[in-house]
Structure 1
Amino acid sequence: MSKKPRITKAKTASLQEPASLQLGQQVEPPASPEAAKLDRVPNPHPKDNYLVRFVAPEFTSLCPITGQPDFAHLVIDYVPDQWLVESKALKLYLSSFRNHGAFHEDCTVGIGKRLVKEIKPRWLRIGGYWYPRGGIPIDVFWQTGKLPGGVWVPDQGVAPYRGRG
C-alpha cells in the first residue's frame, strides 16, 4: 500500500496570504489593463538576489488604429526585493490587453512600468517580441537600471525574426 504524499506549507511566518488575493478564487477577467489588479506576495528570500522569469508566448493586444490583433512573445525577468508578483494575477493582467488598443511600445513599456510600480523589484527587464503585421516585426526592450551583482540572467531565447515559432 503506497502512502499519500504529505503537503506542507512554507514555514516562513511572513507568508500570510491576504484574503484579497485572486489566487484560489473564481474571478471575472478584467475589462482593461487599468482595471486589472496585480496581486503581490511577500518574497520568501528577500536577502537573496535571484531572477524570476515569466514568459507569455501568446500575448495579444489590438492595434489602436485598425483594431486588428497584434501578437507578441513577452519575456519578463526581474530580481525581487520584498515582493513577488502573483502569477495568476499577472496572467489576468496580461490577458486584459486582449481587447485593448495600444501600440507595441506602449504595451511593452507599460507592462514593465506597472510591474515596477506594484512590486518595486531591485531590477526588471521586459522583452516584447512582436510578430509582423505589414511585413515588419517590432521588438521592444525596457529595463530598470543596472542588474544587481551575482545574478545569472539567461538569454531571453527569442531569435531575431525569421518565422518565429
Structure 2
Amino acid sequence: MSDSIYSGLTQLGQATPLPQRPEDAVLERVPNPQAGTAYVVRFTAPEFTSLCPMTGQPDFAHLVIDYVPGDWLVESKSLKLFLGSFRNHGAFHEDCTVTIAKRIAELLDPQWLRIGGYWYPRGGIPIDVFYQTGPVPQGVWLPDQGVPPYRGRG
C-alpha cells in the first residue's frame, strides 16, 4: 500500500480510539482519482450526538453532508471518528453543524459543500441548521437531502 493514494493514512485498517474532543480528531484526505469530474459525495449520519453546553443533556441529530470534491476526498473512517468526537462535546446545535462543515471544507477545499443538521426536539423545539459554501456547481445532480421536516405526532 506504500505507493497507493492511501499510503499516508494513519487510522484506516487499525484500531483507532474515539477522540475525546473534536479538536483532537484527525480528519484525513486522499487524492480524488476522478479530479476534474463534477460529482456529489454524500455522507449521512442519522445518529449524531453531542451535549447541551448548559445542561450536559444529550442532543441528537440526523446530519447530511454533501460535497463536490476538487482534488481531495475525505477518508470516511476519519470522518466517522471526527463526528463521534462530538459525543462528549458541549455546544449548541448551530455551532456543531457549522463547525463540522467548516472543518471538512478547510481540509478538502471542495468545489462546493453543504450540511443539513436536522436536530431532534429538546424542550419541544426541533432546530434545523443549514450551511453551504456557495452556489451549487453547474452540471451536478444534487438530490434532495431526504429528511422530512419534523412533524411530531401530528
Q: TM-score range by the shorter chain?
A: over 0.9
| RMSD between superposed Cα atoms in Å | 1.5
- TM-score with structure 2 setting the length: 0.95
Secondary structure of 2:94 counterpart: helix
Contact 1:15–1:44 (CA under 8 A) maintained in structure 2:
no
After superposing on structure 2, the runs of 4+ consecutive aligned residues of structure 1 that deviate more than 6 Å are: none
- Structure 1 segments unaligned to the other structure (5+ residues): 1-8
Shift of 1:15: 4.3
Q: Percent sequence identity over matched residues?
A: 70
The residue number in structure 2 matching 1:5 is: none
Give deviations 1:50-100, integer Å, cap 9, x for gaps. 000000000000000000000000000000000000000000000000000
Secondary structure of 2:5 counterpart: coil
The residue number in structure 1 matching 2:5 is: 16
**CA distance, structure 1, for counterparts of residue 23 and residue 43 of structure 2:** 20
Letter in 2 for 1:38: L
The correspondence for 1:147, drawn from 129, 136, 149, is 136
Contact 1:54–1:76 (CA under 8 A) maintained in structure 2:
yes
The residue number in structure 2 matching 1:101 is: 90
Secondary structure of 2:24 counterpart: coil
- Structure 2 segments unaligned to the other structure (5+ residues): none
Letter in 2 for 1:97: F
**CA distance, structure 1, for counterparts of residue 151 and residue 104 of structure 2:** 30
Query: Aligned residue pairs: how many?
Result: 152
Secondary structure of 1:156 counterpart: coil
**CA distance, structure 2, for counterparts of residue 147 and residue 92 of structure 1:** 28
The residue number in structure 1 matching 2:55 is: 66
Q: Is 1:88 aligned to 2:77, yes or no?
A: yes
Contact 1:15–1:42 (CA under 8 A) maintained in structure 2:
no
